[in-house]
């Protein structure tokens, strides 16, 4: 198949999105029975996963469960604490670029347990240096906040809080088993967060959800203009683990993204077309430093907690629980490390990086070259020429950036760069 035929054959197929590998079996040959090593890393970011939620939204693809009682929450944190301590004491020389606490819903923990979670964060920082652009972040939902939790976040030195809205339309939310606070409550929490010293509030929205229309999107934009957070992140519905979900056509997705994009830009947010992070402050790109370093600079990351993913220069690993539906029984384990490790060849690591970068609509040839240890421009010449000649991508300095035309089929554009043996699988 020519590159053009390959591209055309994938244009409408939702499997070609920003998930990589396309199916777990594709990495089976690289699986090893040993932990992933970080001995080539001088810089790293951390991610801590809290897999507890008040309700399980039906669109969600993350590893999560209905929040257990305080005792089990505490048990989870104890194990997390041990895993983090073991790692940092064995890697005292790394410089930390980012630290995201996500989930699930970290702010759902009881106040005592939430305090313990933040203590784990603080103690980890006693062991390692942090970079000058270090900007930790924590995720939550409006309905799980409390004044005390917001104070604790700010006192701990976390100045970015990311809260999910997804949609403001009651019917869309109900259809997906999700409830949100009303606008007055949301406004109160955004103001409280800022008054406590949390400098950046990010709000997540999604598109591609069943029931979303131009009217519901207009209402979402009105809510954003009322709340006016420092950052907004726009997620396209991903469906790799939630089969049988209706996905709109690429054209509808494109139109929905465009409507959000135009509305946000009109309000003063900055982002290039195709990016999913919007910010009032141009310099932070709307991202925590964990995401900035991971997506834009291919910095390695270490994940803690059930199902968390890690990536080093040697490969990828997943903690226990990845892809499992019943994770409750795993909470009692003495460690969440030791799931699956894949020692990957450079081309697979490059494909993973490409999939991660696609989230941001751009690809750094410099970092890609570092990963494959070759000149990426020469290595991917044919594909780059095709994408630039057909105006799917444009090149600015060392970056390939998706164009308006390319964004409609962003999954299939970036997939052209995946390893050759994967090109004809689907």
- Contact residues toward ligand SAM (CB under 6 A) are 53, 59-62, 102-105, 139, 141, 164, 166, 204, 206, 235, 237-238
**CB distance 383 to 3 below 8 Å:** yes
Regarding 161 and contact with ligand SF4 (CB under 6 A), the answer is no
Stretch that binds ligand SF4, among 52-60, 190-198, 356-364, 372-380 (CB under 6 A): 52-60
> Which of 87, 73, 107 lies closest to 45, judged by CA?
87
Regarding 193 and contact with ligand SF4 (CB under 6 A), the answer is no
229 binds, among ligand SAM, ligand SF4, none (CB under 5 to 8 A by kind): none
Regarding 1 and contact with ligand SF4 (CB under 6 A), the answer is no
303 binds, among ligand SAM, ligand SF4, none (CB under 5 to 8 A by kind): none
Instruction: Tell me which of 62, 116, 235, 273 binds ligand SF4, using CB under 6 A.
Output: 62
56 binds, among ligand SF4, ligand SAM, none (CB under 5 to 8 A by kind): ligand SF4
Please state the closest distance from residue 173 (CB atom) to ligand SAM, in A. 11
Instruction: For the chain, give the number of residues.
Output: 426
Please state the closest distance from residue 88 (CB atom) to ligand SF4, in A. 26
Please state the closest distance from residue 337 (CB atom) to ligand SAM, in A. 21
- DSSP three-state, residue 155: helix
- DSSP three-state, residue 370: helix
Other CB atoms within a 10 A radius of the CB of residue 133 amount to: 12
Report how far residue 364's alpha carbon sits from residue 297's, in angstroms, rounded to the nearest whole number. Answer: 8
364 binds, among ligand SAM, ligand SF4, none (CB under 5 to 8 A by kind): none
DSSP states of 103-151 = ES-GGGS-HHHHHHHHHHHHHHHHHSEE-TT---EEEE-GGG--HHHHH
**Binding pattern for the stretch 70-109 against ligand SF4, x by CB under 6 A and - elsewhere:** ---------------------------------xxx----
Write the CB contacts of 286 (distance below 8 Å, at least 6 apart in sequence): 202, 231, 232, 233, 269, 270, 271, 275, 277, 278, 279
> Which of 374, 382, 324 lies closest to 349, judged by CA?
374
Instruction: Tell me which of 56, 241, 252, 425 binds ligand SF4, using CB under 6 A.
Output: 56
179 binds, among ligand SAM, ligand SF4, none (CB under 5 to 8 A by kind): none
Stretch that binds ligand SF4, among 40-48, 49-57, 124-132, 207-215 (CB under 6 A): 49-57
- Residue closer to ligand SAM, measured from CB, 17 or 351: 17
Instruction: Tell me which of 21, 136, 140, 164 binds ligand SF4, using CB under 6 A.
Output: 164
- Residue closer to ligand SAM, measured from CB, 140 or 315: 140
Regarding 57 and contact with ligand SF4 (CB under 6 A), the answer is yes
> Which of 117, 83, 110, 76 lies closest to 330, judged by CA?
76
The CA distances from residue 325 to 52, 66, 140, 246, in Å, are 13, 12, 22, 21
* Interface of this chain with ligand SF4, residues 116 to 145, rule: CB under 6 A: 141
Report how far residue 415's alpha carbon sits from residue 418's, in angstroms, rounded to the nearest whole number. Answer: 5
Q: How far apart are the first and last CA of the chain?
A: 13
Interface ranges with ligand SF4 (CB under 6 A)? 53, 56-57, 60, 62, 64, 103-105, 141, 164
């Amino acid at each position: 198949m020519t590159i053009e035929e390959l591209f055309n054959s994938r244009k409408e197929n939702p499997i070609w999105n920003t998930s990589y590998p396309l199916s777990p079996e594709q990495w089976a040959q690289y699986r090893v029975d040993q932990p992933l090593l970080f001995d080539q890393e001088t810089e790293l970011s951390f991610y801590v996963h809290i897999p507890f939620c008040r309700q399980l939204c039906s669109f969600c693809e993350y590893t999560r469960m209905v929040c257990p009682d305080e005792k089990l929450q505490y048990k989870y944190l104890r194990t997390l604490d041990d895993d983090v301590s073991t790692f940092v004491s064995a890697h005292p020389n790394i410089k930390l670029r980012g630290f995201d606490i996500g989930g699930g819903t970290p702010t759902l923990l009881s106040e005592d347990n939430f305090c313990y979670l933040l203590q784990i964060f603080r103690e980890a920082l006693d062991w390692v240096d942090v970079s000058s652009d270090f900007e930790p972040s924590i995720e939550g939902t409006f309905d799980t906040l409390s004044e005390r939790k917001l104070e604790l976040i700010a006192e701990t030195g976390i100045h970015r809080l990311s809260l999910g809205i997804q949609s403001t339309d009651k019917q869309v939310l109900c259809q997906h088993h999700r409830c949100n606070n009303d606008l007055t409550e949301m406004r109160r929490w955004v103001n409280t967060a800022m008054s406590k010293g949390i400098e950046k509030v990010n709000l997540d929205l999604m598109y591609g959800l069943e029931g979303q229309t131009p009217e519901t999107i207009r209402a979402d934009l009105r809510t954003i203009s009322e709340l006016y957070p420092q950052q907004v992140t726009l997620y396209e519905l991903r469906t790799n683990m939630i089969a049988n979900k209706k996905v709109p056509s690429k054209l509808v997705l494109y139109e929905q993204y465009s409507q959000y994009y135009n509305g946000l830009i009109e309000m003063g947010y900055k982002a290039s077309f195709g990016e999913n992070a919007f910010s009032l402050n141009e310099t932070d790109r709307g991202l925590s430093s964990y995401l900035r370093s991971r997506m834009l600079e291919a910095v390695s990351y270490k994940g803690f907690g059930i199902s968390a993913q890690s990536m080093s220069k040697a490969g990828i690993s997943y903690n226990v629980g990845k892809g499992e539906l019943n994770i409750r029984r795993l909470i009692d384990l003495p460690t969440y490390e030791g799931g699956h490790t894949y020692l990957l060849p450079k081309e697979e690591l490059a494909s993973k990086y490409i999939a991660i970068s696609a989230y941001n609509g751009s690809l750094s040839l410099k970092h890609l070259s570092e990963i494959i240890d070759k000149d990426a421009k020469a290595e991917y010449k044919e594909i780059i020429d095709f994408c630039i000649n057909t105006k799917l991508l444009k090149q600015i300095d060392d970056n390939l950036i998706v164009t308006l035309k390319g964004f409609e089929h962003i999954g299939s554009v970036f997939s052209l760069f995946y390893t050759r043996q994967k090109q004809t699988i689907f």
